[in-house]
Chains A and B, each alone.
Chain A
Amino acid sequence: MSDKRDLLKSNIDSLLLCLITGQPMYGYQIIKELENRSHGYFKFKEGTLYPALHRLEKNGLIEGKWQILDNGQQRKYYHITEMGYAKLAEKRSHWNEYFNAMNLIIQAD
């Protein structure tokens, strides 16, 4: 269980950037999308999502924009930035290298 939590913790930025690449999303939507796409494997401690989003925003990788809905509710939608795209490409490349190297060892038997 703690291995799974560590994996999520160390890859949280990549996961969030990947999700937001497809379309702008708000916090609650991100959590649901992550759970659905991973078939329940990634279940976020919801309170840790917003610090991660704010950190990415502060680093310029995503940008938050407020929208006022018809019912008066305000939602902050997050968009990926150019810097975010570049960072995601870099992380994808590192992940593929890591994944291939792990497969070579783990699947060798």
Chain B
Amino acid sequence: MSTIIDEYLNNVKSNLRMEAPAENEVLTELYTHIEDEFQELKNNGLMDDEAASTCIRFLGSAKTVARLIYEAHSQGSWRQALMASLPHLLFGLIFLLNWWQGIGPVLITLIAILSITVYGWWHKKSTWLFPWLGYSLLPVVIAGLSMLYLPRGFAWLAIVVYLPMALWLIFRVVSQTIKKDWVYISLMLLPMPVIISWFIVTEWRYGVNMDSIMSVSYQSWIGASFMALACGVISFVRIRRRWLKVTVLFMTGIITLALIYFYTWGQLSFVNLLLLILLLVSIFLVPAMLENGVRSGKWGKIFEHRPMSR
């Protein structure tokens, strides 16, 4: 038909933020609608350009249409909300019920998380998968933190081997996730500032050795911080509006960091606190910038940017 209609549909597409098959269905449906309306207007005597702009005017703002369609699809069921919050709930319970000192419950939980993540990834269960993905990256983060304590010489060797593998794995996960919506990367990475915070607190108080870690007495605070993450994720899944989803996620991060800071009562150094807040902000800013780069075509080839198809 005309470039004005292509432009309109491209605007709708860039604001939809849905899975590719669903997105293509929406665009096809809108295109068909425009085709029918365009033909009727032309039959009534309008010129091509006038008919095209009238079609667009009747439909309304592309951004609004995309937002409303997004909101019609964005709310997950209570079951999906519970599934998404489950890894946080499991870790929360491990600490609240004091099971973390036994290797059995921790190992079972990690195996369950990895198994369910693989299942969810394989079956493309994207509604609840992302928090599970975040925890399956946990061994990568722990391995990285552990390398800080390796003897000299080994640390450099381990980092040279570890860093490329870790970055490749994270890149693979992110490149799949960015196709849907950057906010799911933030959802996935949300526990990281919390886990790193507790690691710093434990190292400051007890040092990093098994005997001292076993004598940790603040497990209920750790459990509470994971429960706060679980509540945030349930709200995220149930909320329709995107800006509200982002806000809830960010506030969940702030609340859990505040919980940790309150527990340590200013004894967590200012530099550490600042770095943790920067880390929290970066898990929102960096994915948003990445997605912006993909959509503007700067990193299109790397992240397999999809051209519009009908």
A47, B28: Cα distance in complex, Å: 14
The interface size of chain A toward B, counting residues with CB under 8 Å, comes to 18
Give Cα A65–Cα B33 distance, bound, in whole angstroms: 15
Pair A46/B58 contact, Cβ less than 8 Å: yes
Residues in B neighbouring A52, C-beta threshold 8 A: 72
Partner of A47, one of B59, B71, B73: B59
Q: Does A27 contact B (CB under 8 A)?
A: yes
Nearest Cβ on chain A to B127's Cβ, whole angstroms:
12
| Contact B36 A28, beta carbon cutoff 8 Å | yes
A17-25, A72-80, A83-91, A95-103 - interface stretch:
A72-80
Contact flag A55-B72 (CB < 8 Å), given A45-B60, A47-B64, A73-B35: yes
Q: Is there an interface contact between A50 and B29, defined as CB atoms closer than 8 Å?
A: yes
B: number of interface residues (CB 8 Å): 21
Q: Does A94 contact B (CB under 8 A)?
A: no
Q: Pick the contact of B72: A28, A45, A58 (CB < 8 A).
A: A58
* Residue numbers in B under 8 Å from A48 (CB-CB): 60, 65, 68
Chain B residues closer than 8 Å to A76, beta-carbon distance? 25, 28-29, 32
Q: Which residues of the other chain, A, contact B49 by a CB distance below 8 angstroms?
A: none
Do B69 and A54 touch across chains, with their CB atoms under 8 A apart? yes
B181 interface residue per 8 A CB criterion: no
Q: Give chain B residues whose Cβ lies under 8 Å from the Cβ of A54.
A: 26, 69, 72-73
Inter-chain contacts of B65 with A (CB < 8 A): 47-48, 50-51
Give min CB distance, B110 to chain A, whole Å: 35
